[in-house]
Amino acid sequence: MMIASNEVHIWFFSEESGSAGPPPASESLLRRAVSLYTGRPPGSVTLSVNPSGRPVIRPDGNRPDFPDANLSHSGLLTVVAVSASGVGVDVERLRSVPRLKDVLEFCFSAGERAWVLEPPAKEERELRFFRLWTLKEAAVKQRGADMMVQGGDMVFTPEEAASEGPFRGTFTTGNDLYFERLFFWQGYAGALCYEGPRKQVILKGPLPAESTETGNA
């Protein structure tokens, strides 16, 4: 399978699909997604972990045709984003957030906190929280950074946080980063961050749970 330089492909696996047996490990799904583009068995896709804990694909022989890929898991959903250049993805199951005000002190600016807490309804405040959190997490993962260290440096305007469409991050300096919402799954908030210029985001479909992983683990 080929991926153009102006595309981001989205794959997913839902445990609600009724597949027999236990769900596959997230790393197994990441290997399987990458193997679709390399023509090699999933087990030959070697992963390592960077200092921030992000799985990193290690191309065999530094092959330039190995794409970048990033994975996110929440609830019963696992999502893999694949791109020819750096990409980060985050999905979060919409749920209650105890002590939301305390959580917002973690890595949200004063303006971001005000935007999240503006609605009178608790459910709307929590929805805004997850919309903003997924943007930050996707950016952190695209950069291979750590939310504890750099999450507070990635500040979004109210217009960006509320955006339903793609936008270029105004906080970025030296990095041309674009953001897009992922609205494919009911009950989840999702966001994508990738290197510019603007790309076409394509939902490719579900990843099969079954795979024969041979080669290097």
Backbone CA torsion sign across 49, 50, 55, 58? negative
Q: Which of the four pLDDT bands, split at 50, 70 and 90, describes residue 27?
A: confident
CB 97, CB 103: distance < 8 Å: yes
d(CA 140, CA 89): 9
What's residue 174's pLDDT? Answer: 60
DSSP 8-state assignment for residue 207: P
* Domain spans, the chain: 7-206
Residue 158 · residue 111 · CB < 8 Å: yes
Instruction: Give pLDDT, residue 201.
Output: 97
Tokens of 158: 């109210």
* pLDDT band, very low/low/confident/very high, at 58 (cuts 50, 70, 90): low
Higher-pLDDT residue of 74, 15: 74
pLDDT category at 55 given cuts 50, 70, 90 is confident
Model confidence at 83: pLDDT above 50: yes
What is the Cα–Cα distance from 115 to 126, expressed in whole angstroms? 11
Other Cβ atoms less than 10 A from the Cβ of 38: the count is: 18
CATH for 7-206? 3.90.470.20
Please say whether the beta carbons of 106 and 217 come within 8 A: no
3-state DSSP assignment of residue 153: helix
Q: Specify the pLDDT at position 39.
A: 82
Tokens of 34: 């990458």
pLDDT tens for each residue of 188-199: 999 999 988 999
Residues whose CB is less than 8 angstroms from the CB of residue 24 and which lie 6 or more positions away in sequence, other chains included: 13, 32, 209, 211
pTM recorded for the entire structure? 0.87
CB atoms < 10 A from the CB of 17, how many?
A: 12
